[in-house]
Amino acid sequence: MPKLKIQNSKVETHKKNKDPLSENELGRLIIKFLEYCIVERGHSELTGRNYLHYLNRFYAFAKKHSISSPRQITLDMVHNWRMELATSKIDNKTLSKKTINYHAIALRSFLKYLAKNDIDSLAPEKVELAQQAQRNISFLEPEEVDELMMAYCGKNLLSLRNRAILEVLFSTGMRVSELATLRRDEVNIERGEFSVGGKGGRRRVVFLSPDAQMWIGRYIRRRKDKAKWLFLGGRRGYKKKKEHDKKRQIGHISVRQIERIVQAGAKKAGIVKKVSPHTLRHAYATDLLSNGADIRSVQAMLGHASITTTQIYTHVTNRRLKKIHEKYHKKRVTS
């Protein structure tokens, strides 16, 4: 099957054969759609790669069934493709409903692109998404957050970095990918606020708590390097560097390293539930809501495009509503 790839914000093909995707109209339109997503819509390369991955599978199915034009895409064909995704094992695993829905979302976006360009095909609204069970999120109780923070209370540079990372995650609700690539000049520690670029290029303002400001300050003051990154990766910068290493660029911390820091901290704190950087994002939202913040404000601070995404935290508002009901609803005692 022809394979697409994303290279330097452009869509290219693996050239095992001579221009394989040019062999039919459907393949050429998929390439144009992916270029449109990145260049004109401004989607991130990660989104582009995901669309590429899902539409490669759709293209392979279409080719196998001699479908070479968007005009040949029918509801039955899409149904059969989704059935194949649901019943086939990929890398010895069956795809989840959520993953199959991602495939359907990519296809629906492609069909919307075709409709926008007056190319006859299946109407995008005919591709429905499967219903999924409501997400059951994992969050930390306030005392567990405190215990996690205390897991890193040493005075060496590595411990200071790890504590500062935990404090910033909980204080801002940032995604781990946003935190990993923060530059020193982007963060105003004194003012306790700065902007970050989230999904879809949407920027939002986040705020540092006094604790986060203090631990970042301690970490930065102990550093001797001039690296541009707020958090350095590995143990680079924590040991005396050899002469031939002095000119090397010190890299930022990786997402995986942050995950390990959080997991190790949870283990030290004796927290038995699974804890990840995203758990601290959940704890941040839960803390705001349980202390009276409205859900629209929390949506803005988390950088969610849709209020529906923020509504996974209704377990908190439901708990508050119960307390209000108990306090204000007339109590009747009947015998």
Residue 250 falls inside a structural domain: yes
Residue where one domain finishes, among candidates 126, 156, 183 = 126
In the chain, the percentage of residues whose pLDDT exceeds 70 is: 80
Residue 167 falls inside a structural domain: yes
- Which pTM was predicted? 0.65
Residue 32 falls inside a structural domain: yes
Asked if 88 and 174 sit in the same domain, the reply is no
Residue 135 falls inside a structural domain: no
Asked if 121 and 174 sit in the same domain, the reply is no
Asked if 85 and 154 sit in the same domain, the reply is no
Most confident of 30-44, 224-238, 266-280, 281-295: 266-280
Residue 198 falls inside a structural domain: yes
Asked if 149 and 105 sit in the same domain, the reply is no
More confident residue, 93 or 117: 117
What was the pLDDT predicted at 136?
A: 60
Asked if 238 and 153 sit in the same domain, the reply is yes
Asked if 214 and 179 sit in the same domain, the reply is yes
Asked if 204 and 158 sit in the same domain, the reply is yes
Residue 227 falls inside a structural domain: yes
CA 170, CA 173: separation in Å to the nearest integer? 6
C-alpha radius of gyration, the chain, whole number = 25
Asked if 198 and 98 sit in the same domain, the reply is no
Residue 74 falls inside a structural domain: yes
Q: Is 28 left (phi over 0), alpha (psi -120 to 50) or beta?
A: alpha
Asked if 121 and 148 sit in the same domain, the reply is no
Catalytic annotation, residues: 175, 199, 278, 281, 304, 313
* CATH code at position 104: 1.10.150.130
User: Domain containing 251: what range?
Assistant: 142-274
β-pairing, 203-207 with 193-197? antiparallel
The CB density around residue 263, as the number of other CB atoms within 10 Å, is 16
Residue 258 falls inside a structural domain: yes
Mean pLDDT value of segment 36-48 = 83
* CATH code at position 253: 1.10.443.10
pLDDT in tens, 162-182: 999 999 999 999 999 899 999
Most confident of 40-44, 113-117, 188-192: 113-117
Residue where one domain finishes, among candidates 274, 294, 319 = 274
Number of domains in the chain: 2
Half-sphere exposure of 224 (CA within 13 A, CB side): 8
